[in-house]
Amino acid sequence: MAGNWKMYKTPTETIAFFEKFRPLAGNAEHCEIVICPPFTSLSAAVDAAKGSHIRVGAQNIAWAKEGAFTGEISGPKIAATGATHAIVGHSERRQYFCETDETVLKRTQAALEFGLVPIVCIGERLEERESGSTEAVLIRQCSCGILDLTAEQFAKIAIAYEPVWAIGTGKTATPEIAADAHRTIRSQVREKFGKEAADAIRILYGGSVKPDNTRALMAQPEIDGVLVGGASLDPVSFASIVNF
Ligand code: PEP
């Protein structure tokens, strides 16, 4: 169960979140919990999560180790905060910051190189769904990205299926729509890496997940977890998602 805080919460606000969230869900044993605050709150989150099951992730990662890349944050810097995960290729990065399948792959490889678990986001835009090309888009995003990893690298990632039309819009994909997309992704994985890898890969659904729709989504065997934006900002709401 992953929370993406986007561009919200200072270090002080991060500490306040953990104070409320930890007693509610900090030691949940049925799932892994990852919270992804802004870079500037990573260290505060790692400190506030110490002694719990909660892991902390970044929302992006540079493809290089270091160098003249103003404004980028690299894997070693993220890892030095104690964070263990990095979201890669979020649709807001693709939409507003020119992220492409190629740069997403490079960032995914960088996360792996520096020991971070990449949560790789893919998903179709509204016009792509309406024109009936969802499957083709997912196949393209897989084949120009995660399927280029080696089998060993692939075993370390998580995938988030996030239909762009469902992110921050209040329009959740129905559990059936989400499961259908997850099946498409898993079948691509099966073709490339085999059944074992396809069974083992964790595919999260993201897009307007809320406390009242989590259980129905999680009831789909294809859905292994959720990536939550808006509803992860409130400790009570995210705890009730975690404890669905
Ligand atoms: C997200 O940011 O990845 C996301 C799914 O946002 P929301 O839950 O607000 O739709």
Q: Which atom of ligand 1 is nearest to the CA of 90?
A: 3
Ligand 1 centre and the CA of 67: distance in Å?
A: 31
Ligand 1 centre and the CA of 100: distance in Å?
A: 19
Cα separations (Å) of 237 from 27, 62, 108, 214, 231? 16, 31, 30, 11, 6
Average pLDDT over residues 135-147: 94
* 52-86 residue pLDDT tens: 999 999 999 999 999 999 999 999 999 999 999 99
In the chain, % helix, strand, coil (3-state, to 5) comes to: 50, 15, 40
Closest alpha carbon to 118 in 103, 137, 96: 103
0.85 exceeded by pTM: yes
Cα separations (Å) of 166 from 17, 76, 127, 225? 25, 33, 12, 16
Position 231 pLDDT exceeds 90: yes
Ligand 1 probe mutation, 227, 232, 237, most atoms within 8 A of CB:
227
What was the pLDDT predicted at 100? 94
Give 142's pLDDT tier (boundaries 50, 70, 90): very high
Q: Are 4 and 33 in contact (CB under 8 A)?
A: no
> Which helix or strand (DSSP H or E) is residue 208 part of?
none
DSSP string, 68-96: S-TT---HHHHHHTT--EEEES-HHHHHH
Average pLDDT over residues 184-192: 97
CA-closest residue to ligand 1 atom 4: 229
Q: Which atom of ligand 1 is nearest to the CA of 166?
A: 10
Kindly report the average pLDDT of the chain as a whole number.
96
Residue 100 CB coordination number (10 Å): 12
Cβ 164 under 6 angstroms from ligand 1: no
What was the pLDDT predicted at 172? 85
Ligand 1 centre and the CA of 150: distance in Å?
A: 29
Q: What is the CA radius of gyration of the chain?
A: 17
Cβ 1 under 6 angstroms from ligand 1: no
Cβ 162 under 6 angstroms from ligand 1: yes
Q: Are 28 and 214 in contact (CB under 8 A)?
A: no
Residue 159, φ and ψ in degrees, nearest 5: -115, 140
Cβ 57 under 6 angstroms from ligand 1: no
Cβ 209 under 6 angstroms from ligand 1: yes
Catalytic residues: 90, 162
DSSP string, 141-157: HHHTTGGGS-HHHHTT-
